[in-house]
Amino acid sequence: MTDSVEPQGVPVAAGLSAAPAPATAGGQARGPGKRQRLVDAACQVFYANGVERTTLADVAAAAGIPLGNVYYYFKTKNDLIQAVVEARLSEARAMLAWVEAAHDGPLDRLKALFAAFAGQSEEIARYGCPQGSLCTELDKLPDGPGPAAELMRVPVDWAERQFRALGRADARDLAIEVIARYQGSALLASTLRDPGLLARESSRVAAWLDTLGA
């Protein structure tokens, strides 16, 4: 995560890129505030260990913040979970915006998105898809995934817009298919501990997309 120190055995969550810390008036780089450090740490520890198994004490330790300070920012674990969902949504939207800015055509954008997923293959093979794993865990709660469902809806909606730009009447179905192919291959890569699986699926998806744009 941005400017966070990675605890031993805990990954920096896939899909996020580091940004320079803002400077103070004296020109010294200023690290993220305590709340952001807690959210960053929660993203990491939830990803590595799962939401259910992670306590607020685990997050505080990963952030290097006393446990008592956590309650100033997050009264309950559910409050922290919501902050993590919002962080993951920001991450997803940032990735999609980057893909859209970097590539002109819808086919190239769709290929680039899947290639970006495949570029995270080592972490995904070890821990699963950050967004997919979080949705799966939260779906088991009594009230379901709630706002976390947006983590699936955002990329599907984006992919649908790309297929519509190709003039496809079946844009929604194709969008669901391309995201489902990523989520399925991410699950298999994690289960089989095979990071190469995502790269191979990325090549197959690229070939499939070419047939749709022909």
Confidence at residue 213, expressed as pLDDT on a 0 to 100 scale: 72
Confidence at residue 20, expressed as pLDDT on a 0 to 100 scale: 35
Confidence at residue 159, expressed as pLDDT on a 0 to 100 scale: 97
Q: Which domains does the chain have, with CATH numbers?
A: 88-213 (1.10.357.10)
Confidence at residue 4, expressed as pLDDT on a 0 to 100 scale: 34
Confidence at residue 26, expressed as pLDDT on a 0 to 100 scale: 45
Walking along the chain (214 residues) 10 residues at a time, the average pLDDT comes out as 35 38 42 88 95 95 95 93 95 95 95 92 94 89 75 96 96 97 95 95 95 79
User: The whole model's pTM is what?
Assistant: 0.82
Confidence at residue 140, expressed as pLDDT on a 0 to 100 scale: 80
Confidence at residue 145, expressed as pLDDT on a 0 to 100 scale: 63
Q: Give the CA-trace dihedral at 204, 207, 212, 214, to 10 degrees.
A: -170
Nearest to 174 by CA among 105, 90, 107, 120: 107
Element (H, E) at 46: helix 34-49
DSSP state, residue 29: B
Query: Do residues 29 and 22 make contact, with C-beta atoms less than 8 angstroms apart?
Result: yes
